Amino acid sequence: DTAVSQTPKYLVTQMGNDKSIKCEQNLGHDTMYWYKQDSKKFLKIMFSYNNKELIINETVPNRFSPKSPDKAHLNLHINSLELGDSAVYFCASSQDSTNYNEQFFGPGTRLTVL
């Protein structure tokens, strides 16, 4: 009964490829997020969707495109992968009913671009 799940857990690919990471939450939350954690473990928000609508879109290359088919899913598609995209990507979700938006995180997807 995993709350926030991501697939795959590990992703190794060549430069120039296109890849997707999937995220699903079974918490009934309204908002979902994608974060990038770099090699120094710094975490930065990339995108956020609220009820399938994009609400946060930080300065991220347009090779990254989030897609939310429904409230429970937020996928991340990356085109033309570059070496600098290597990182751990975390999905998270939160419930709108609390002002403080406590976020619940998935286990992460470690992306390695060769």
Partner 1 sequence: AQSVTQLGSHVSVSEGALVLLRCNYSSSVPPYLFWYVQYPNQGLQLLLKYTTGATLVKGINGFEAEFKKSETSFHLTKPSAHMSDAAEYFCAVTPRSNDYKLSFGAGTTVTVRA
Can you give the binding site for partner 1, defined by CB under 8 A? 4, 31, 33, 40-45, 48, 50, 55-56, 90, 92, 94, 99-108
Instruction: Provide, rounded to whole angstroms, the least separation between the CB of residue 97 and partner 1.
Output: 11
| Closer residue to partner 1 in complex, CB, 2/17 | 2
Instruction: Provide, rounded to whole angstroms, the least separation between the CB of residue 79 and partner 1.
Output: 25
- Which residue from 76, 102, 79, 101 is spatially nearest to 89, judged by alpha carbons? 76
Q: Burial letters for 64-96: b for 16+ Cβ neighbours within 10 Å, e otherwise?
A: bebebeebebbbbebeebeeebbbbbbbbbbee
Instruction: Provide, rounded to whole angstroms, the least separation between the CB of residue 20 and partner 1.
Output: 19
Q: Are 4 and 27 in contact (CB under 8 A)?
A: yes
| Closer residue to partner 1 in complex, CB, 67/108 | 108
